[in-house]
Amino acid sequence: MPSTLTSTQSSQMDAAQGRPQMMKAIAVFPGRPGSVHLAELPKPAVTDIAGGRGVLVRILRVGVDGTDKEINAAEYGEAPEGSLFLVLGHESFGVVEEVGARVTELMPGDYVVATVRRPGMSIYDRIGTSDMTTDDVYFERGISRRHGFLTEHYVEDPEFLVKVPQDLGDVGVLLEPTTVVEKGIAQAFEIQRRLRVWHPKKAAVIGAGTIGLLATLALRLRGVEVTTFAKQRRPYLNSDLVEALRARYASAEGEGSFLDVAAKYGPFDLIFEASGFAPLVFDAMQALAKNGVLVLSSVTGSDHKVEVPADRINLSFVLGNKVMVGTVNANREYFETGVKDLSQAALEYPGWLNRLLTHPVKGLENYRQLFDYLEHGQGVIKAFCQVAQASGDR
């Protein structure tokens, strides 16, 4: 039998019994490897948010990724204060069911995605850029000290909810991973304001997983020539998706190392690294064009060691005015840009986004299948839990 726990937070009450209405959730005991289980907690209410600003959202879909896998492996993750468990899931998509009296931004029936990071104490948190926090203790839904979205309902202030057009109902669950790309690319352009003029012509994306594919998409929407590099030889679904965007797919198995590929198609004005394999960063540094930007998005927890031509890399960065920048999380700005890019993608490349949603799992109770896909699945681009049905779902 799955483990179950009950939290003590405020909730809606069962009118007949005077007891909280309970809901299912997929959770872990942080610090305990392999502890993913089915938990139980009270259903929230709009009144849980003060000042009539509550929005009650019914969860429709939640995507899972390497973060959820690593939290279940006890690599990191913190439960909320007063809770023994942490509800997982930061890639949400849901529909508004009820709003408080002072909510004007949203109405019942609207599709929404919630941002992930919540404000802390740093100056960056106070100006709406909590993704840039300098706090050592931070708050992220489904990751650190705040419950996530692998449950049936949540309540939130509209400040942290981004409206999604009805036409994106089938693919709205891809918005949160898209924001990783949006922030990385936006940061690159922001940095390049130093040049007064910067129009990147050639870009490389390292990695053809969910983030790599979405980075390829975002760069193609901006008219950039893209070479996407991954390990596996074409053809397979990921390479097909790259080529459907009229981008170039190259592989270690087919064309050789990334440096071999860069010698043929580079150097690159912008490189977006999303492979999860840290040694490739040093190859990318050598493939960057003068005035170029290398964006790092992989969170790597291993202990790889490599020899690199340090002097040559350093010299090329100094003499070439090159930049390397890391990017993590995203604030509301990048969620809103992501909505625009997903809408444009749906028009320019009909059906392309749907093809990323490779491994659906129906129902929170099937969490073991969800994590089996995440940890051992073959050909998985995006695994997600179909928590509830909505118009357009099949």
Amino acid letter for position 240: D
Per-residue pLDDT band at 7 (split at 50, 70, 90): very low
Provide the whole-model pTM.
0.93
Average pLDDT over residues 168-188: 98
**Architecture of the domain spanning 179-326:** 3-Layer(aba) Sandwich (3.40)
State yes or no: pLDDT of 4 exceeds 90. Answer: no
- pLDDT tops 70 at residue 10: no
pLDDT at 18 (0 to 100): 64
Q: How far is CA 45 from each of CA 140, 387, 390, rounded to the nearest angstrom? A: 21, 19, 21
Q: What is the mean pLDDT of residues 341-351?
A: 98
The answer to whether domain 13-170+357-386 and domain 179-326 are alike in fold is no
Q: What are phi and psi of 110, to 5 degrees?
A: -70, 140
Is pLDDT above 80 for 270?
A: yes
- Work out the average pLDDT over 188-206: 97
Distance CA 287, CA 294 (A): 9
Q: What is the pLDDT of residue 20?
A: 82
Q: Is the pLDDT of residue 13 over 90?
A: no
Q: CA-CA distance, 394 to 171, in Å (whole number)? A: 12
Quick one: pLDDT at residue 394?
43
CATH class of 13-170+357-386: alpha beta
CA atoms within 13 A on the CB side of 140: 27
Question: Domains of the chain: which residue ranges?
Answer: 13-170+357-386, 179-326
30 close to 86: Cβ distance less than 8 angstroms: yes
Task: Please write the tens of the pLDDT for every residue from 347-376.
Answer: 999 999 999 999 999 999 999 999 999 999
Mean pLDDT for the chain overall: 94
